[in-house]
Amino acid sequence: MQEIDQQTIIDRIWKTPSYDKLRIIEANITKQGAMTPAVEAAIKEHYGALARQIVAEKAAIKLENLTPAEKKIVLAVAEYVGLMKRDRKTASRTILQLKNRGLIGAAEAAVSRAKPTQGFTMLNEADRADLSYEQIILDHPDEFSERALWFARRALGLDNATAKPPAEGDASTQARTELLLDWLKSRRADEPGQIAPYTNADAAQAMGIGDMAKYGRTQGNIQSRLDFACYKLGLPPLGMTAKEWFSRAWNWGDPSWEYPRASMQKAAQDHAWSNAEIFQVLQTTRTLPGGAAKLWKDEAAEHPGAIRAWAEALGAEKEGPYWVLVCNPQKWAIDEFLARGIEVDSWGVRPSDQNRFKPGQLAMIRVGQDRRSKAEREGRPPLEPGIYALCQVLTEPYPATGASDEFWSPGSEREPGWPTVGIRYLHTFLEKPLPIETLKAQVPHVTRQLLDGFQASTFPISVEDFRAVTALLGVSEDDLPDAANVPGLAKSLADIEDKYRDASPEVKERQSRYIERGPVGAKVKKLNGFKCQICDALGHPPHAFLKPNGEPYVEAHHVMPVSKLEKGSLHAANIMTLCANHHRQLHFGGVEVEITETHFTLEVGGVPISIPRPAV
């Protein structure tokens, strides 16, 4: 009976979802005298599991494919986070360092200082000195710099060969990776621009590696990490911008297939590298372990088709390319756009892609996480990440005017001069999109950028991946136009840009008409004396600028969104009159408005406000 009770307690411990609840359970077990060695071990192990989850989530670190040292660093941070949380303290500085520097880089930076780290002291006092950064560095010297080793030995009371630590130039893998990235960035004549070819000896010198015979393997590892980051981002491999690739490079995966090294190198050297792309590569390398070999081997074992599709797509644009157009609904309300049934529009493209876009090419629209507030969605449920439309490119890229329409959120509008193409919507799936989770389950071999997301407006996709997606959407090739043939209804560049020419005043009129839904709004404005009711209630000047007809400018806000089509939403009693700033704040600032029989009540900037409802 005692064993059953003990197992029940342990099962309950492992189901506990948070530190605070586990702390309460631990106190109750102790109070009831039910603490046994097995229960105590389960509590300690679950504290560690919860801490590892916190480390992974908050520091944006994947816990797979880690080197031995990196695995220990995760355990060390988890133990430290656990100790801090049990003392009701946070380890936010440690988490931030992991996020900014990666596992190895964070350990290097933490130990390379005059005094031992707080983590070292706390772990030592908790009899877990084996998990201190210093001990990990000593146990795995191959993964760290001589400088970090010097400081680790000193903290552990061991002798060093020199009285002073080695110079900071003897850097860790991630630090050297970042040195190489900065150097490659400096080799461009323009932004975006091509990287001037270089020798491996040149790159070694840029990273502070003086002896290629001794450190050639180190350099190859660093370039291979860069290449893996590029693979994840759908970019050509940065390491192939060199004049010659390492002889041992590009041997991962199926031995019956060879990487098209020459065409991969040409793609890398011809590519116009932008600051944004190089920054994305940098951020991605900070999430990777120090050793590249395991990364590539594991990826080749799990997703050989994805690697092959990426490598071959770099060589030749056969049957395409096909495109993925990436949409962030927080910036551009694609659900409102698709609901209008608009057939022809435009899309901003990544500057480095602009020379590859041609009329007739086909594309799909991928929607990412919908992070809009409930107010921004006007009560609609958030969009599920997935594929929402199939399109055809209608024009060569052209510099857009920069004007916006009502679907853009304030401050997110397309910049003037941004490369833009005209597109025609062929099939839309607003009511029944293809979820990304379905793609992951049904076609896990497709490009990782499509499955995991991509922080840019566009990226190319192989014809095989495009067809795999359209098949799941239930769209056959017969339902799509020939990618080489632009239909006669395609708008010219002038036609499409005409939609946005002089758009600033036009957008205001369109948005006002769209929101007011007829003459009721105008009557309420006149009834309220063209005042902003929030400004008036706060004691601020209630009138904005005067329009040419002498009327003060004011906007009508429907408290109950018209888009919900609820009874009474178009009635005068549902309208407030507001200046443009407060109108935007109510739509996008998360302000909740309560409707009583006679008043609207809300809180703006911490000030409670009550506004009488109109009666027309």
132 and 240 share a domain?
no
Q: What is the pLDDT of residues 290-312, one digit of tens each?
A: 777 778 878 887 877 788 878 87
Mean pLDDT, residues 137-164: 83
Identify the CATH number of the domain in which residue 345 sits: 3.10.590.10
Predicted pLDDT at 64:
65
Predicted pLDDT at 389:
94
Mean pLDDT, residues 220-237: 87
Q: DSSP secondary structure string, 474-532?
A: T--GGGS--TT---TTPPPHHHHHHTTTTHHHHHHHHHHHHHH-STHHHHHHHHTTT--
Average pLDDT value for the chain = 77
Predicted pLDDT at 570:
59
Q: What is the pLDDT of residues 441-488, one digit of tens each?
A: 998 878 777 888 877 788 888 787 888 899 999 988 778 886 555 444
483 and 508 share a domain?
no
pLDDT band with cut points at 50, 70 and 90 for residue 95: confident
Question: Is residue 443 in a domain?
Answer: yes
Predicted pLDDT at 4:
52
Predicted pLDDT at 8:
84
494 and 510 share a domain?
no
84 and 136 share a domain?
yes
User: How is residue 30 written in tokens?
Assistant: 């102790």
277, 296, 315 — which closes off a domain?
315
Mean pLDDT, residues 600-605: 87
User: How is residue 429 written in tokens?
Assistant: 């799936």
Mean pLDDT, residues 341-361: 85
Domain total in the chain: 4
Could you tell me the residue range of the domain that residue 531 belongs to? 504-612
d(CA 573, CA 597): 10
Predicted pLDDT at 605:
79
d(CA 201, CA 599): 75
What percent of the chain lies above the pLDDT cut of 70? 78
Q: Which span out of 5-9, 48-52, 384-388, 480-484 was modeled with the highest average pLDDT?
A: 384-388
d(CA 27, CA 14): 16
420 and 515 share a domain?
no
444 and 485 share a domain?
yes
pLDDT band with cut points at 50, 70 and 90 for residue 437: very high
Residue 159 has pLDDT above 60, yes or no: yes
Predicted pLDDT at 170:
39
What percent of the chain lies above the pLDDT cut of 90? 9
Residue 518 has pLDDT above 70, yes or no: no
Question: For residue 530, is it left (φ>0), alpha (ψ between -120 and 50) or beta?
Answer: left
294 and 370 share a domain?
no
pLDDT band with cut points at 50, 70 and 90 for residue 24: confident
